[in-house]
């Protein structure tokens, strides 16, 4: 059994699954069913804080749609019936967190780079609707199921965790529209305020301006959650000027008509691949949250790290 706190244990496999994995998510406040669309571990970002070891070859290279669909159905059933809490890994989940919050699309790379992203969103939305109807028919006893009985079409969220790099592509736009129609929520990464810091953290050839423009365009259509991870790099936290610039970028998105429903300020909770990356203290995370609220007027929430790894 893992000795890590559950919110730090996001292994991509649950039992024998290759694409679908349940986790206790600190940011969703319950159980999140992860769907990995990048089992080949290829990503168009190479973030210094990422926990995925891209130097080792993955066992599974391609998404097998039939297997993914079967794993999602099985895992949904495991969580919604409560049988997941009979397993060793999830037996210690506190009662208040024994709820299914979402199906989250992230994994070992950027999910929107998957060429059939829109088609897979449609398939998963159908599976979600079937599960909600089964809840309504069976009357399962946990609180999430009671909520689903009252409103079976909106009980389970679909969450896309994304770096926003592909939002301008037609297949990604179609996928976002499917999310919109199925109680979807988009969590878009924004970890920097300046071009220099962006390239230091994300290590990508994709221009920072493209990310900002994509977030703004998407947020004009639906409210977005911004996910922002700050950390120590070579023992140094982000500078005051960088954090001020970060707030400036948020204000620019809002001024351009972008709807930002929440800014998640978090730090390293799982061991990153790069050894020179370390978490901020709780007080430092709180200070960034306070700055964002003061400078932007947006809702912001802290999520703390784990210095013990």
For 66, residues 6+ apart whose C-beta sits below 8 A from its C-beta are none
Q: Rounded distance, CA 151 to CA 146, Å?
A: 9
Q: Which domains does the chain have, with CATH numbers?
A: 1-185 (no CATH), 190-309 (3.20.20.70)
List the single range of 7-11, 157-161, 228-232 with lowest mean pLDDT: 7-11
Give the pLDDT band (50/70/90) at residue 40. confident
Total H helices, total E strands in the chain: 8, 10
The model's pTM: 0.86
Look at residue 245 and give its three-state secondary structure: helix
Q: What is the mean pLDDT of residues 245-265?
A: 98
- The label of the residue with tokens 């089992």 reads 39
- How distant is the alpha carbon of residue 80 from its chain centre? 21
99 — pLDDT class (breaks 50, 70, 90): confident
Confidence of residue 96 (pLDDT cuts 50, 70, 90): confident
**Would you say 277 and 268 are in contact if contact means Cβ atoms under 8 Å apart?**
yes
Write out the H or E segment, with its range, that includes residue 32: strand 30-36
- Which residue has 């990503």 as its token pair? 43
**Buried-exposed string 160-193: b where 16+ CB fall within 10 A, e elsewhere:** bbbbbbbbebebbbebbebbeebbbbbbbbbbbb
């Amino acid at each position: 059994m893992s000795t890590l706190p559950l919110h730090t244990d996001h292994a991509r496999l649950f039992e024998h699954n290759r694409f679908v994995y349940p986790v206790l998510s600190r940011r969703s406040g319950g159980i999140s069913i992860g769907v990995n669309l990048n089992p080949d571990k290829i990503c168009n970002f190479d973030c210094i804080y990422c926990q995925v070891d891209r130097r080792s070859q993955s066992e599974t290279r391609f998404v097998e749609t039939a297997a993914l669909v079967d794993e999602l159905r099985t895992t949904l059933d495991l969580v919604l019936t409560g049988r997941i809490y009979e397993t060793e890994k999830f037996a210690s989940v506190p009662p208040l967190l024994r709820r299914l919050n979402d199906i989250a699309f992230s994994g070992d790379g950027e999910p929107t780079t998957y060429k059939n992203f829109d088609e897979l969103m449609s398939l998963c939305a159908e599976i979600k609707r079937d599960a909600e109807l089964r809840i309504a028919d069976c009357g399962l006893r946990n609180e999430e199921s009671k909520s689903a009985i009252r409103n079976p079409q909106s009980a389970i969220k679909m969450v896309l965790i994304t770096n926003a790099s592909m939002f301008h592509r037609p297949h990604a736009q179609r996928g976002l529209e499917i999310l919109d129609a199925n109680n979807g929520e988009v969590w878009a990464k924004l970890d920097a305020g300046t071009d220099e810091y962006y390239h230091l953290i994300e290590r990508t050839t994709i221009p920072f301006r493209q990310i900002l423009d994509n977030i703004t365009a998407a947020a004009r259509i639906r409210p977005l959650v911004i996910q922002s991870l700050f950390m120590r790099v070579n023992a140094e936290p982000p500078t005051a000027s960088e954090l001020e610039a970060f707030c400036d970028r948020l204000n620019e998105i809002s001024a351009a008509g972008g709807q930002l429903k929440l800014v998640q300020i978090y730090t390293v909770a799982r061991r990153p691949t790069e050894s020179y990356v370390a978490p901020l203290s709780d007080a430092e995370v709180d200070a960034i949250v306070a700055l964002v609220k003061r400078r932007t007027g947006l809702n912001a929430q802290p999520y703390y790290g784990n210095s013990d790894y």
